[in-house]
Structure 1
Amino acid sequence: CEFKPFGLAHALRVLAATLRLLRILDHPGQRKFRECRTGYYRFPASKTGSTGPMRLGTLGGAVPRVLPVGSTTESPKILSAGQSVTRSASCDGENSNFGPREMNLVLIRKAEQSDGGSVALASKDERSVHIVNHLGKKTGDTVSFGIYDGPRGKATVTVDDGGGVRLTPVQETMVPPEPEPEITVLLAVPFPMRMKWLWPVMASFNYVTRIVVIRGELSNHEFCDSRSLREGVYGPLIEKGMSQGARTRGVKVDVCFENVSADLLGRLGLGDNSAARALLDCGDENNVPKELYGHVDGFFSDAHGRRASGVGSCPAATLAVGPERGWTEKEAKIFTDFGFASTSLGSSILRVDTAVVAGLGIVTAALDKARRRGTTLEECQTAKVKRPRG
């Protein structure tokens, strides 16, 4: 190949473009973004030192890494229940881009309805954008429509000249929600970006009716400051997940920054003996966890044989998932003493978000099977009345 030298002006332009690119990549906001995307975080101070017992592997994912030199070193802040802290934009900032909203059902709040039952959506409302641009609906067409914690069915679309949409429920198609199985997710606060991603994903599972966030001993205490744990952030994300899952039954959220204890589990109402309770755990040489599906399915098989309340149409389950570094031996013992079974998703080392999705899929399948064993609707409603709630 014959080498053809570039001119000086071209070389200077290339050099200037390279320097601009380096400045962009070295911008503090970009550095923070890269740290969030790769999962860097600081280890919290340990009272027992680095040699203390840890249960690593089942739920934590990749080995934790320490923040690069120059990162902030302020001491961890611990929140009590109900306390909020103002902080600047971070990994869990409000401007994170989660892509276009996925809707299999247009979900509205009761307060949005007019006296006649119709709903007017502004042209910039993401639901209007979805109906007009993504679904390509026009005046006279129908869409799947539901009211939060209320009935669902079809609604007639009316598109105005400005791009706004009015939805009028087709009353003969509206049906109230039927009693269904219930899943409570108990989650030790994970990395903020994973927590924010998990809200809509958990809410898209039809059976998830409650999400409880607590603080694990090995949780990074700074994560308790996360904006993703504020109602103004997770509320819309949960509704997004409900729309994607085509469900109207609401999801209750409890955020309680207390360490695991029998007293806490009791106050949260997690002592229900009619619910299958599973702790995702890697176990140790003296404790080999059960396979998750086998535990939940076996629990309801035995319960069905006894005709215990809560089986059939409305079986219930609680799934406890630890933080990135897993549960400690002490926490695992508290759970098992309280009635939780130590279970596993297999030998793979999974991230928290992966473990939550896999666990919920398995528990949902087991509850579907338990539901097919069948009881009457009256038995199901009686079980729901008897079932304690925190």
Structure 2
Amino acid sequence: MGKDALGDIGFGYRPRAAYASDPAHSRGRLFDEPESPTRTPFQRDRDRIIHSTAFRRLKHKTQVFVAHEGDHYRTRLTHSIEVAQIARALARALRGDEDLAEAVALVHDFGHTPFGHTGEEALNEKMAAWGGFDHNAQSLRVVTRLERRYAEFDGLNLTWETLEGLVKHNGPLTDASGKGLKGPVPQAIRDYSELHDLELDRFAGIEAQCAAIADDIAYNSHDIDDGLRSGFLTLEMLEDVGLPGSILKDVRARYPQLDDVRTGHELMRRQITLMVEDVITSTKANIERLKPDSADAVRAAGETMVTFSAGMAAAEKELKAFLYKHLYRHAEVMRVRADAEQIVRDLFDVYFADPRAMPDGWREGLDRAQDRIKARSVADFLAGMTDTYALKEHRRLFDHTPDLS
């Protein structure tokens, strides 16, 4: 059932730019399914992502601060929702497919371990002998294999465009010869691409690029917010950083009596607005220069089209360096990271030594499996854990569990 039969359901088939991804001409799903009579393929992807178990688990997965440290800190779930809002705004302004941009934004963190990048580093170390661990590849495993909801296939059976965006939202993974641009391409990505060619040497569509830069905009802003809430950052510290410093100067000039909490929120909303508007202006200039006449022309452009201007890119780089030094590497954050790493290492060692320590549905057949199969199954189980479940499991299996509060 195509565009004419479906009509303009949910405004999903409204006119869009020639370079946008068109749901009426999607490259389809690995397993053929009848079209929905009420949703475009990309709207259907978005809905499947939201209703998945992996999406709900993001609620208790660390962004920067461990999930139980406070109710108002971002988690992977709230971060993904904020990224999706910004991605939709960008796609709308650029006349792309908003639903596809939203789907890629909502699914992009599915492969993250408990305790954020700390858990990923620990799991990658443990998996070094079997291809390592990469959260992007794990996201693909989740939506193509590990979610078990449907009678006829494993995974969510998402469209080619959503999977392409998930895998390549940060750019191509290989050169034209298939050689990895940043080291070996994770086996999970290569294996799936052999079945459903994701064109790993080309850029993703405009919508996935919107989701990628929306990710940067979201965490550059909300990590400041969480840093202020924690006390690890102060408004005075931000005065010396170009982008937030200039915004603070304007806010204080206009509202000299404003309290610090409201000042911080004014900073956040203005910074997001400035960055979004900069991306729209810069990307429109790129589109005018490159003149893509199809979604495939965006993929073949040889460069990322959705970008910051040179000035904003420099300001964003300075801000990231500031956050890295004063927030991500703060002594208290590093203390929690060290303890969280140990929890992930301990759990991997126990499950690998005795898969019977894992629950039903995960341990079957692993006592006789090759080490690489057993290790990957343990990694799948561990990566799917929330912070709270990882702590609970560690307390069950060990006499002492670090206090991450």
Q: TM-score range by the shorter chain?
A: under 0.3
**Structure with greater helix percent:** 2
TM-score (ref. length: structure 2): 0.26
Q: Which has more radius of gyration? A: 1
**Structure with greater strand percent:** 1
